[in-house]
Structure formats: structure tokens, C-alpha cells
Amino acid sequence: KFAFLRSCDAGVMPSIWMEPGGPPNALLEWLGSGRPVFSSSRGGLAEAHKRFRGCIAVEPSAPHLVAAISMLRDPTLWNEAVAAVGAVSFPNDEARWLRAYGDLYRLAAG
């Protein structure tokens, strides 16, 4: 999955819902693959914009998405967007990721 995400230029998550909660796992996977993410500032995605570099706020409509994505055709802006993601590290080994996720869940559940 991470090889596929790295082969893409960026992620797009134009949610229109105001669902509460933290950032969705899909957004974290895009960032973990070193790719910027175009996303709306609604619900858990809004939290991501406050906590993670590399999230690019965009209104969830075709004209706004086209304009935002077109902006990154400029090589300088593209390089800045990728650099903003930083070196987020997620385990590439799914079993290790699942163990870490389970450990975190057990810690939170007490």
C-alpha cells in the first residue's frame, strides 16, 4: 500500500461531513508515505490541519480542488509541499503496525 501511495503525487480527501474525531487513518497513511494531502477543514480533518504539516486546506468542490492541485504544478511549490510533510515514519510491516495499534488501544482503554 505504501508503495502505491508513494507512486502518487498527493492525496485528496474532500470531506463535506462535520464528523467529530481525530484524523482518519487514510490521511495519516498519505502523510506517512511522504505525500501532501488536499483536504477540507471539516471534522477530524480540521484537527489534522492543526497537528500535521503537509495538509493543504481546500474547499470540497471541483473548482477549488482543480485550483489547489494546479498550484502544485509549480516545481518550487511542489517541493515545499513535499518537504512540509516531513519525515513521518510509520512501520512498513503490517504485523508490527497492528501490534503497535493494539498496544495503544489497550493503553487508552486502561
For 59-89, how does the pLDDT look when each residue is reduced to its tens digit (9 = 90+)? Answer: 988 999 899 889 888 999 888 888 888 755 5
pLDDT at residue 90 tops 70: no
Give me the torsion for CA of 90, 21, 82, 2, rounded to 10°: 40
Supply the pTM of this predicted model: 0.68
For 12-52, how does the pLDDT look when each residue is reduced to its tens digit (9 = 90+)? Answer: 887 777 776 767 888 888 888 888 999 888 877 887 887 77
